[in-house]
Every structure is written in structure tokens, then in C-alpha cells.
Amino acid sequence: MAKDSGRSLIRLLFWEGLAAAGLVYIRLHPYADHIWNLNFFYNALFFLLAYPLLYVYRWKLTDGCLATFMWPVSFVLTWGLGASAYLWIAYLLLITGSPTFFAMTTHLLPLGILFAFVYFPLIQPLLGTSKNYLTLGGLFWLIFYSALGCFFGYETGWFLSKKLPSVQTEHSHWLLLWLGLTFLGTATGALIAQRREKG
């Protein structure tokens, strides 16, 4: 683990640059659904403003009275960026034409709860906004184990779909279960990677 003083400005600029590019793309290629188009647009704006605030807080304000005063703000930003990451993933699924997009926007509550298990061990370290900052080497293993977990979660869903067709009584519920298994597999892989890094 790198110390907070070792956090990289490059990572901050990288994610901010991607968010800015995404915002421009949303403006140039609006989604047919006006409400969701606004959701994605304002989500991009929120990320551009909230992400650097939380990043700098984790980097420079981890100790002292100011850190205590800013803690409620960091708490709100942490969960807000979790919701933002969920919407960014939904938007990526939309522009790639994945039918999973509709499951993510239809079943917001259950998938949002499951997504929290992915956001904290995987996405936060990638963004550099977790309490423990991972170096590039740590990020490699984090991505590697998370990808393995995602694969096994997805394959478990595929196995169940072939061996237990009776569970597919409702297609939307089945897709929800499949996504849940994929999320949980990804989260498990991320947790294993973090334990490996600490060990």
C-alpha cells in the first residue's frame, strides 16, 4: 500500500479527463429517453465536481481538526460517487448496446445494494478515493482477481441457466440473479486481492 502522500495527480487527471469526455459525448449523442439523458448528463457534472473533492480529502485531509469537520462531507461524497459509478456503468452498457442496461435501470434498488459490494473493494481503489491507496502493482492484482471473480460469477449464472431451467420462470428476475452473481464474484475477487496486498 502506498501512503496518502504518494497519491498520484495523474490518476485524478485521468478519471477527470474520462468524465469530461463522457460529458461531451452525452451532449453530442443524446439518449432518446429525455429523463435518462438528463440523469446521465447531471451525473457526469456531479462526478466532475465531487471526485476531485473526495480525492483531495483522502490525499491531504486525513488527519487533524479539518478532517473531522469535513468527514460528513466525505461520507456524502463517497456514497454519491458510488451512485455515480453505477450510472456511468449503466451508460457504458447503453452505448455498447447491452440488454443489461435495462436491468440496471429497472432494478435500481436490488442491484444498487449489490453494487455497493463492488464499489468499495474495487472501484474506490481504482479511483484512488479509498482510505488505502493502491500502487500500480496493487491495482494490477486487484483487477486480475476481480476479473477472475467476475468470470466465475458469470459462469455460475450460465451453469444455472443450463442445468436448472426451472429458475427462469421470469426472465427479468433471472437476469437480476445472473447480474447479482457476477457482482458478488467481482467483489469476492477484489477482497481476495486486497488481503493478498496486505499480507
Q: What is the pTM of this model?
A: 0.87
C-alpha cell of residue 115: 453494487
pLDDT, the chain, mean: 87
φ and ψ at residue 61, rounded to 5 degrees: -120, 45
178 neighbors 146 (Cβ within 8 angstroms): no
Please state, in angstroms and rounded to a whole number, the distance separating the CA atoms of residues 146 and 15: 20
CA distances from 172 to 97, 111, 145 (A): 17, 12, 28
Q: Which of the four pLDDT bands, split at 50, 70 and 90, describes residue 94?
A: very high
Nearest to 76 by CA among 60, 54, 59: 54
Q: What is the pLDDT of residue 2?
A: 47
pLDDT digit string (tens) for 40-60?
999 999 999 999 999 998 888
Amino acid at 71: W
- Which percentage of the chain shows pLDDT scores above 90? 57
Give yes or no for residue 71 having a pLDDT over 90: no
DSSP secondary structure of 58-118: HHH-SSSHHHHHHHHHHHHHHHHHHHHHHHHHHHHHHHTT-THHHHHHHSHHHHHHHHHHH
Nearest to 105 by CA among 22, 176, 189: 176
pLDDT band for position 64 (50/70/90)?
low
* pLDDT confidence tier of residue 88, bands split at 50, 70 and 90: very high
Instruction: Report the pLDDT averaged over residues 119-127.
Output: 95
Residue 178 clears pLDDT 90, i.e. is over it = no
Give the least confident one: 4-8, 93-97, 164-168, 181-185: 164-168
Q: For residue 173, what pLDDT is reported?
A: 67
pLDDT at 196 over 50: yes
Confidence (pLDDT) at 65: 73
pLDDT at 157: 81
